[in-house]
Structure formats: C-alpha cells, structure tokens
Homo-oligomer: A and B are copies of this chain.
Amino acid sequence: MTDPRFFRAVGPFTVAEIAAFTGAEIGGAADTALQLADVAPLDTAGPRHLSFLSNVKYTAAMGQSKAGAAFLHPSFAARAPAGMTLLLSANPYMAFAKAAGRFYPYPKRPGGIAASAVVDPTAVLGEGVSVGHNAVIEAGAEIGAGTDLGSNTTIGVNVVIGQDCIIGANVTISHAVIGNHVTLYPGVRVGQDGFGFASDARGHVRIPQLGIVRIGDDVEIGANSTVDRGGSDTVIGAGTMIDNLVQIGHNVVLGRCCVMAAQSGISGSTKLGDFVVVGAQVGITGHLAVGSGVRIGGQSGVMRNVPAGTEVAGTPAVPRLQWLRQSAILARLATKKDK
C-alpha cells in the first residue's frame, strides 16, 4: 500500500507490545505473540497487519477483514471474524493512532550539524540535535536534546526550543520560547511583531511589540502559518493543533488542546479556553473571550464573546441552530413563487 520510497514501517511488534503501549485490552483469538508487521485498513489488511474499526459504517468490512489484529470497541467484538485478534478499546481510533505512530515514527535524521549550517558559537545545542543544511541558528539560541531543525530554517537570537521538537524546512522563529515535542511544519513564521500601530492624518507608526511567543508542549503548527508577538505574550497552550495558513494575532492566548483548521485566524488579544474547535476559514475579531469547549463552524465570523461549551456559526456568528434556521428561512424566501 505505502510507497516504500517514502515510508518504511518500523517493527514488527507483537500483539502484547501493542496492547501495552496503547492500553487496549486483548480479546478474541488472542495470539499475544503474533508479530504484526504493518498497519492497514480493514479491507486490504492481511494476517500480519494491524487495523481498526472506529466508524459503524465499516462494520461489514470488519466482518470480512483478514486483518491479523484490530482495535475496536468492546460492543463490536461479536462482529469480528473468528481468528482475528481483538484489541478492545473505548477509543479504537486513538489506540490506532498511537500504534501507527510506533510503526511510522517521524524519520529523524541522525544527530549532527550539517556542514553548511551556520550555528553561532554562543548557541547551545542539546544532545542529538540535528541541524539541516543551510539552517541558521543565531546567538544565544538554545535547542533541546533530540530536536530536529530542517534545512534553510532560521532561528533567531536567544530563541529557546525544547526537546524532541520537529522544526520543518524553511521555517523562521524569533522572540519565542517553545516547549517539548512541538512540531512546526515548513514555512511557519513565529515571533515577528504584531500588527499594531498608531495612526493620524499623516499615516501609521508601529508600536514596538515587547512581548514574546510562548508555545506549550506537544503543539503542532501547520505549513505557512503565522504567529505574531505583541505587547504581552502570545501563548499557544499545550497540545493545541493548528493547521496550515492560520493566523494567530499578537497577544492572543489559546488554551490547551485547541484545534484550528486551515486558513482560520484570530485577531489581537482574543483569548480562547481549552479544547476550542475552530473551523476552516473562521475569523475571530480582537479582544474577545471564547470559552472552553466552544465549536465554531467553518467560515464563521465571531464578533462577540462566546460562552463555554456552545456551538456557533455564521457571520456574525450566532448559535449554530439559529444559523441553520436562518439559512433555511433565507432559502425558503428565495424559492417562493410569489415573492
């Protein structure tokens, strides 16, 4: 299935090993010593493959699958074919994600500094740091052990990056303190000064932005996204996942484990709680508070505070059910004969 030019599975792992690092419970035929060589979807998996069922609509595929082992919810155990080793989990997709990550870890380059890289003698690099070709690390920067910096990437003065981070190629970072296990995809820009200025009839004058960007552990930021610094710190909470081409304005604070889909943006000084889900192309204006667990539909324009746990959509954003009704009413008015 996978193209061996680009991907190669690590392994094999036994069923017992996989159960151990995913927390799944072993059921079914239960050959715990079975060596699993790779992951695969239910329909193409063979006897040495690990698969999963996380969506009811694939239940039939499960019944006919030749997978050696599969993650699934205990309530579906009876639908599995005889002979399949079952890995029972309340969240089989999560279990599969963890297992697949073991088979296909990020292919780190061997530690070491490329001959063409420019590393300031005052920079401090931890053990096993890998610095790509033509990368630049400026004075005083600190790079944690095991971190991998891509080619043609630029790390500014005194930037701090934690351990085991993956910083892609052609990235720019300045004025930032970054945690551990952070992934920045190619073309990310972190730490440039935010869009703040004073204006009069003669024009605009920038306000110096004297805060920095703080990025928590396990954060991921997608290709060509931008994170500005402001007057106070711009903060991205641990575990937050940010897609491509996203704009994080200055002084914005994101809580833990938020999700921001592609091309969404947050204007200056807005604060999000934890586990907020922001749809693609959403815009959130400045100086707002968006509570934990809020879900914002794609392309919405949020112009007011949003209470925790609610779901909004539309421009201006309103409760999601209201937005659905608005759209339906408008459609009905437009298709009425005698209007």
Contact = CB atoms under 8 A, between A and B. Distances in A.
B185 A192 contact: yes
Interface string A118-145: 1000000000000011101000100000
B134 A256 contact: no
A311 to B, nearest CB: 15
A6 B207 CA distance: 16
Interface in A80-105: 91, 93-94, 96-98, 100-101, 103-104
A174 B301 CA distance: 34
Contact of A172 (B172, B186, B249, B330): B186
B224 A189 contact: yes
A79 interface: no
A203 to B, nearest CB: 4
A150 interface: yes
B6 A158 contact: yes
A303 B297 CA distance: 11
Question: Copy number in this complex?
Answer: 3
Given A91-B200, A247-B245, A104 B280 contact: no
A218 B244 contact: no
Contact of A333 (B134, B204, B283, B326): B326
Interface stretch (A24-32, A62-70, A257-265): A257-265
A234 interface: no
B195 A100 contact: no
Given A192-B185, A222-B195, A97 B150 contact: no
A71 to B, nearest CB: 10
A237 to B, nearest CB: 10
Given A103-B208, A263-B265, A329-B333, A168 B172 contact: yes
Interface string A139-177: 010000000001111101110000000001111100100
Contacts of A103: 208
B280 A265 contact: yes
Interface of A: 1-3, 5-7, 91, 93-94, 96-98, 100-101, 103-104, 107, 114, 116, 118, 132-134, 136, 140, 150-154, 156-158, 168-172, 175, 185-187, 189, 192, 195, 197-200, 202-208, 210-212, 218, 220, 222-224, 226, 228, 238-239, 241, 243-245, 247, 249, 256-257, 259, 261-263, 265, 267, 280-281, 283, 285, 298-299, 301, 303, 314-316, 318, 322-323, 325-327, 329-331, 333-335, 339
